[in-house]
Amino acid sequence: MKLTHKTEYAILALIHLAREGESQTESISKECDIPFKFLQQILRELRLKQLVTSVRGPNGGFKLKRPANKISLAEVVRAFDGPLAPTSAVSVYFYEPGPLEAEPKTLRVFKEVRDFVSKKLEKTTIFDLV
Amino acid sequence: MKLTHKTEYAILALIHLAREGESQTESISKECDIPFKFLQQILRELRLKQLVTSVRGPNGGFKLKRPANKISLAEVVRAFDGPLAPTSAVSVYFYEPGPLEAEPKTLRVFKEVRDFVSKKLEKTTIFDLV
DNA sequence: CATATTCTTGACAAAGTTGGTAGACTTTAT
DNA sequence: ATAAAGTCTACCAACTTTGTCAAGAATATG
């Protein structure tokens, strides 16, 4: 797992929504210091991934689709950056074969990393981060 | 931390050298199934990073510069892929500010990930993977 | 010494990812 | 009507990844 800025922005936006209840793109952009146009794109993805809902028109905006304690960090990271595992050769949800395949001992080490990260991020929710 | 193929190849080559004692590029290439020209480049980096030594000419080749149990996985991964941390905002050796900076609780989660990964990879050596 | 073998070095390149931006469109409160 | 939101598609520059290529330098062997 390597976090991109986009994923970090997504996490910030979700935390913000958890705090405020509801908010508009411009206000999130200013308070979280996220480039407006980039944030629009991110909020759209968050909606497509069922993490937020939106309302259009004046006084529109966004809010969390589920309670903050039902949105895990794992879900957010997976949605934006893909595998939590350090290499897709040991990924559960995004498995792909790779060069390391032939070395079981090495695979084991990275699987232990994957398991730790996965457990940690599954049990941490946006609520915990507010 | 996200492993690239290059890093995985580097790990494979080091394990191979630990097993064989010494070996030539072509033989490593064939046995580990690493593209020859790419491997040349990787072995050069491994030498520059003081992980292997080389001998030129016929019957030349490569061997580990240090005993296998003195080469940690952490060192190899850091040399090729940079930070072990999931984001450079929580990296010790490669720190850079990032969007997450403003959220201490979130930083903490990722620091715990970093610490686990770091400990795990520091104490795993090439010797353990042979 | 000649030659073949092997490592050395620097450049290059196609494809994919990252971190955005632009602008036209749709919905809706007033 | 109009203005204030979100929606959607497309685009772009910079960087990283995954290699390839070719010429050069060192050295063991005959």
Q: Answer yes or no: is B97 CB < 7 A from strand C.
A: no
Instruction: State the pLDDT confidence band at B129, using cuts at 50, 70 and 90.
Output: very high
Contact B99 A1 (CB under 8 A): no
Tell me, yes or no, if the pTM score tops 0.85: yes
Q: For domain B5-129, which CATH number applies: 1.20.1050.10, 1.10.10.10, 1.10.150.20, 3.40.50.2300?
A: 1.10.10.10
**Longest distance between any two alpha carbons in chain B, whole Å:** 58
| Pick from A97, A108, A86: nearest CA to B81 | A86
Q: What residue has token string 């939590």?
A: A84
What is the rounded CA–CA span in Å between residue B99 and residue B110?
13
What is the rounded CA–CA span in Å between residue A43 and residue B61?
54
Tens of pLDDT, residues A3-20: 999 999 999 999 999 999
Tens of pLDDT, residues A18-75: 999 999 999 999 999 999 999 999 999 999 999 999 999 999 999 999 999 999 999 9
Of A99, A103, A116, the CB nearest to B5: A99
DSSP states along B36-69: HHHHHHHHHHHHHTTSEEEE-STT-EEEESS-GG
Chain A CA closest to residue B128: A105
User: Cβ(B76)–Cβ(B40) under 8 Å?
Assistant: no
The predicted structure's pLDDT at residue B95: 96
The domain spans of chain B are 5-129
Tens of pLDDT, residues A80-116: 999 999 999 999 999 999 999 999 999 999 999 999 9
Contact A109 B100 (CB under 8 A): no
